[in-house]
């Protein structure tokens, strides 16, 4: 049965960019795990509600990563001393723990390499002290470090006891889904602070436009269980 799409609580359903209005309609799913095929999930939940030629399916990168087995239980992670030390200097925010815990920092070291993380940390310190600018760490460390998420109090179980890494080959995943459902698809990393488009089914798709459309995070950051949604043009 096709579900009725409506904005999540506290979120706006429509945004206007450069004079064009877009609906952002979240889609509720079952709890996605590594037992799921993301293409099949997109077909099951996305296809029934995609109806207009210019509709675009957008999917959370964490949803994709979980189907790839990239959610690692905290009990399976043994942080090295370097990870414990580095994590103490990461700024914590209400929007997510990032690399501010030993377990997430440990995976940053594994995913990015020790030298890159140490260099990123060095540049970050210089940037803050000499230029009074933040954000240099993730610019140097790159996407793999930036996409690592630790558990928060409002994370859906069992992921409230996991470190979740970024997805592998997001462009390829987006293309596979689009070929299956017949609609353009993007894999997104959007939170309450920032956003980026990790994967697109067509190279010609304007990533900057989609970041602007989704900037206010219509999927939400809590327990909405809406890991995907539809972008629909209202008027042009």
Q: What is the pLDDT of residues 31-86, one digit of tens each?
A: 999 999 999 999 999 999 999 999 999 999 999 999 999 999 999 999 999 999 99
CATH level 2 (architecture), domain 14-70+166-235:
2-Layer Sandwich (3.30)
Q: Examine the pLDDT at 236 and tell me if it is beyond 70.
A: no
If you average pLDDT over residues 126-142, what whole number do you get? Answer: 81
Q: What is the pLDDT of residues 173-191, one digit of tens each?
A: 999 999 999 999 999 998 7
pLDDT of the residue at 192: 55
Residues 67, 173: Cα–Cα separation, whole Å: 11
Q: What is the pLDDT of residues 182-223, one digit of tens each?
A: 999 999 998 755 688 999 999 999 999 999 999 888 886 556
Q: How do the domains of the chain map onto residue ranges?
A: 14-70+166-235, 73-164
3-state secondary structure the chain: CCCCCCCCCCCCCEEEECCEEEEEEEECCCCCCCCCCHHHHHHHHHHHHCCCCCCEEEEEHHHHHHHCCCEEEHHHCCCCHHHHHHHCCCCCECCECCCCCHHHHHHHHHHHCHHHHHHHHHHHHHHHHHHCCCCHHHHHHCHHHHCCECCCCCCCCCHHHEEECCCCCHHHHHHHHHHHHCCEEEEEEECCCCEEEEEECCCCCCHHHHHHHHCCCCCCCCCCCCCEEEEEEEEC
Cβ–Cβ under 8 Å, residues 70 and 61: no
- Flag whether the pTM goes above 0.75: yes
- 202 is written with which tokens? 């067509």
Least confident of 20-24, 148-152, 219-223: 219-223
């Amino acid at each position: 049965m096709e579900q009725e799409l409506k904005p999540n609580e506290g979120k706006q359903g429509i945004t206007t960019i450069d004079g064009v209005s877009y609906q952002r309609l979240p889609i509720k799913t079952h709890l996605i795990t590594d037992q799921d095929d993301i293409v099949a999930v997109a077909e099951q939940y996305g296809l029934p509600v995609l109806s207009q030629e210019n509709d675009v399916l957008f999917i959370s990168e964490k949803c994709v990563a979980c189907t790839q087995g990239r959610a690692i239980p905290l009990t399976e992670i043994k942080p090295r001393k370097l990870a414990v030390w580095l994590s103490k200097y990461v700024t914590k925010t209400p929007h997510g723990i990032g690399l501010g815990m030993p377990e997430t920092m440990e995976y940053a070291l594994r995913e990015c390499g020790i030298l890159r993380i140490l260099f990123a940390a060095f540049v970050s310190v210089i940037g803050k002290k000499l230029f009074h600018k933040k954000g240099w760490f993730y610019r140097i460390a790159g996407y793999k470090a930036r996409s690592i998420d630790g558990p928060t109090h409002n994370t859906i179980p069992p992921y409230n006891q996991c470190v979740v890494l970024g997805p592998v080959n997001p462009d390829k995943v987006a293309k596979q889904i689009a070929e299956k459902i017949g609609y353009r698809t993007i894999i997104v990393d959007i939170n309450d602070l920032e956003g980026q488009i990790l994967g697109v089914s067509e190279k010609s798709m304007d990533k900057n436009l989609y970041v602007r459309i989704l900037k206010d995070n219509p999927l939400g950051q809590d327990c909405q269980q809406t890991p995907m949604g539809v972008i629909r043009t209202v008027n042009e």
